[in-house]
Amino acid sequence: MLNTSGHETGNAVNQVVECVPNFSEGRNPDIVQAVVDVVHSVPGVALLDETMDPDHHRAVVTFAGRPYAVAEVAFQMARVASELIDLRSHHGEHPRVGATDVMPFVPIRGISMQDCVQLARMVGQRIGNELKIPVFLYEQAFSRPERKNLEWIRKGGVKGLAARMETDPAWAPDFGPKHLHQTAGATVVGARWSLIAFNVNLQSGDLSIATDIAKVVRQSNGGLPFVKAIGVELKSLGLVQVSMNLTNHEETPLHVVFAAVQREAEARGVDVAGTEIIGLVPEPALIATAQQALRLDRFDDRQVLESRLDSAESREAFGRLSVSQLSKEKPAPPAKTGAVDGMAAEIQGLTGGSVGALSSAFAASLGVMVANRNQSRAVETRLSEIRTRLHELVKIDREVYAQVLQANKLPLNHPEHALQLSSSLLAAAETPLEIVKLSCEMIPLLRGLLASAKPQVYPDLNIAIRLGDAVIEGCLGMVEENMKGQPNQQLIAAIRDRFSAAEQMLVDAKSLCYTPPFDSWPQKMLNILKLR
């Protein structure tokens, strides 16, 4: 992932971005399922949560994964929603301006807020240009101060936004047409930090009570910092609700918000009927609430079993298994004996990318051997990590290749042909790019080992360097070829940027100069140790 200066902001292997789009549909499960199914159509993305509410008439989907894969899912979700949701017949308690009402990108790991702003702008531009839906940027991606807060854009609902767009040039959208889409309205796209959607249900049918409490507790009326709140009627339950967003749970914790709402409700002679969290919630927020509710002394997150199991030390001890794998995975069958048997299982059904990953993994293994002998622990650890990820990419590339083949088997007029082809070719480009990055990182580590290596292991390091060099050039060629068949021009532009960065990494790797410490090393071998 690149920032505005063109430099990578984090390790691409570990980059995770979350997207939490809200859709104006909470009563038709078939429509919501059609939107959710998009997540499963793009490799590199995982569905984390989905909720729908008939009173709010709203669905919230949470998914996360590799940045450009998440961006592709977000756009395709907006496309499906625009085809299935008609705002002209929509009536619900929750404020909204579009079929895909709001679409925030949230940095999770190895990615900056500025990267998420870039994703928001990229997806917003596609929605505006390709779906002809006006897009307004908000929160960290805002282009105008009056659009930073979501509630300012939603003020007056669909009709209010339409009127501002018609009469005020300052309310021209950031992308797309200058009028609302006939059925899909507008979409608000942005980048923000994690928030908690927290609702408190009251044992009353009087909406004015919930509205009054919301006014008291929300920040805009002088209430609690980082709290947004509205009153909502839950007709299906015969209750009213104080519906809130907590935009900074560290400054204003869950238990503080709940206590404030409960206090205001009791002052009006109303009991709390229950609470709910919509979507996902950060673990520290629940820990802080538990500490307060149970009056725990000297308690921290290290006392949480799952947190300790998923710590770096535990992952190393358990062979990098996740907590879910520890709880669900069945015992592994007895290991095969012999290196040839193990290799046979790995090389079955190899593809070009998987051969590249496996070759670089072999190169990393040679480096691990030399680093171990040299007692270069930091280099040994990093080369081991690179080797582990490369072995994972062997399987991933085979799966991606199968998806490309499946997409190409679909008739050209099939409604899913373009989507499946675009998403599978995206993954087919992302995988070799990751192999390139890992190999470019590996080669300087291998060359650095020469400074303290004995002459007997020079040939081993030479083989490793040559393997890595060949893999880099071969995988760059794969990216180039896969992009030729990519029908999505926006994705081509995004991958081109990363392709250029990978090529520069190759230039940097080749520019490394090294003079071995042993004069007796033949000049002919010195020459081949230099990358072409």
Residues acting as catalytic residues: 94
| CA–CA dist 498, 504 (Å, integer) | 10
- The number of beta carbons lying within 10 Å of the beta carbon of residue 398 is 17
| CA–CA dist 483, 425 (Å, integer) | 7
| CA–CA dist 482, 405 (Å, integer) | 12
CA distances from 252 to 195, 232, 258, 275, 399 (A): 11, 22, 10, 17, 45
Which H helix or E strand runs over 477? Answer: helix 458-484
Q: Is 242 helix (H, G, I), strand (E, B) or coil?
A: strand
Q: Where are the beta strands (DSSP E) in 336-485?
A: none
| CA–CA dist 416, 480 (Å, integer) | 24
| CA–CA dist 321, 443 (Å, integer) | 28
DSSP 55: T
492 in Cβ contact with 429 (< 8 Å)? no
Burial of 523 (0-12, 13-18, 19+ CB in 10 A): exposed
- The number of beta carbons lying within 10 Å of the beta carbon of residue 118 is 22
Token readout for 367 is 């480096």
229 in Cβ contact with 244 (< 8 Å)? yes
Token readout for 37 is 């199914």
Ramachandran assignment for 301, one of left (phi > 0), alpha (psi -120 to 50 degrees), beta (any other): alpha
Token readout for 290 is 């538990």
| CA–CA dist 83, 85 (Å, integer) | 6
Go through the chain and tell me how many residues it has.
Answer: 532
Give the closest residue to 185 by CA, choosing from 100, 290, 273, 309. 100
DSSP 88: G
Q: Is 245 helix (H, G, I), strand (E, B) or coil?
A: strand
Token readout for 5 is 């200066």
- The number of beta carbons lying within 10 Å of the beta carbon of residue 443 is 27
Ramachandran assignment for 190, one of left (phi > 0), alpha (psi -120 to 50 degrees), beta (any other): beta
DSSP 304: S
Helices (H), 351-376: 352-374
Q: Is 321 helix (H, G, I), strand (E, B) or coil?
A: coil
Phi, psi values for residue 479, rounded to 5°: -60, -45
